[in-house]
Amino acid sequence: MPSEETTADNVMVDEKETDVTAQQTTEPTEPIKIGAILPLTGPAAQTGTDMQKGLLLAEKEINTSDKKKIEFFFEDSAGSPKDGVAAFTRLENTIKPDIYISLLSSVAMAIKPLVEQNEVALLVGASSLPAVTQNTEYVWRYAPIAGTYTPNYIDLLDKADASTLGILYITDEYGKNISQELTKALANTDKTVISESFLPKDKDFRSQITKLKSQGAEVILPLGFTGHVLNIIDQATDLQFSGAFMGNEMFSNPPVTKKIDNAFATVARFYDPSFAPAQEFIKKYESEYNKTATHRTGYGYDVAMMIANSNNPDRQGIVSYLNSLNSHKGVLGSLQITPESHEMTYQLFPARIEQGELTYITQ
């Protein structure tokens, strides 16, 4: 991969040197205005602030001293659909961005009608609800959908050599959708699924964990925000749960990984030490912020880089640009894009976490 990227870079340099006039006529003269509606406070704040840092690092790299190509305008959704709508309205009335970014299915569904009404593109992350990208010309998802996780979870359950899965899920679109998909998929197998739910505001999960334990759960799959997952792991350990945990990319976040002694996860390639693009990004990020990079920071970086590649800094031009994409290489790996479904999906890989260390499982 590095050699291919070097070749591409050389080609771009040659083009600039031989056809400067052509480039000047195609590059935008004004920066692309990006409205970023993120959960900067509330239960999903860690996800939102991580992504924000990745976006800002990309902005710093993309914009040069003599040319600003992208510009971010941030608003806090607090993970609330109502606050997300208010944030969108403020940005429309003041900035009128060329494209929007948001996180969470609930927020995306709330602002989706406004996006359609104003004919502006929206990129959604941390979202698995299929309805987000259904029946729309303007909404794209940059994340795996619920159906993508289901076969991976089933595979991980086999790797854990477990027959009884306990699901502890948040009662929002994300939690309910994945829980339902997985329960349905395992209905006619030799696996048993038991589930308990919790509210977004909940912090004490001992009652639900005790019920899962009493019904023989060998593996617990927590579906919630980072704070929920950390509390569930701590409380399950206190209650002497002796089985394994199972999770998605959240389990690969270093603060979560370090708390886990025994888990299986389906994660992006971002943490693979042999994957050069991610390793290079991690070094840059940690040098800039003196903080540990997560896949959400990489997600923000990739989204910004992809948007910056558009040479049409207006709403319809960016919609046309997104419709023209079928792939994108970034720090999360190779992105597969299906224009007709508006899905942008990076590949997930099975991983094992033992004593706070994550390793990818080779097939």
Q: Who's near 326: CB < 8 A, 6+ residues apart?
A: 337, 338, 339
Which residue, 167, 122, 126, 171, is CA-closest to 146? 126
Summarised one tens digit per residue, pLDDT across range 310-353 is: 988 899 999 999 999 999 999 999 988 988 999 999 999 999 99
d(Cα 278, Cα 275) in Å, to the nearest integer? 6
Contact 97, 73 (CB under 8 A): yes
The whole-number average pLDDT for the span 69-85 is 97
Confidence check: pLDDT of 13 > 60: no
| Phi, psi angle pair for 253, to nearest 5° | -65, 125
| Phi, psi angle pair for 12, to nearest 5° | -65, -40
The whole-number average pLDDT for the span 262-288 is 96
pLDDT for position 363: 58
The whole-model pTM stands at 0.86
pLDDT for position 6: 35
Name the residue ranges covered by the structural domains of the chain: 14-145+274-346, 147-267+349-360
d(Cα 232, Cα 74) in Å, to the nearest integer? 31
Summarised one tens digit per residue, pLDDT across range 118-139 is: 999 999 999 988 899 999 999 9
- Determine how many CB atoms are found less than 10 A away from the CB of residue 20: 10
pLDDT for position 21: 31
167: part of which helix (H) or strand (E)?
A: strand 164-170
pLDDT for position 28: 59
Does the fold of domain 147-267+349-360 match that of domain 14-145+274-346?
A: yes
Summarised one tens digit per residue, pLDDT across range 352-361 is: 999 999 999 9
Mean pLDDT of the chain: 90
Assess if CATH 1.10.8.50 describes domain 14-145+274-346.
Answer: no
**Class of 147-267+349-360 in CATH:** alpha beta
And the tokens for 105?
Answer: 């299915």
Q: Report which residue type is found at 216.
A: G
d(Cα 346, Cα 87) in Å, to the nearest integer? 28
Burial class (CB in 10 A: 0-12, 13-18, 19+), 168: buried
Longest dimension (CA), the chain: 72
- Rg from Cα positions in the chain: 21
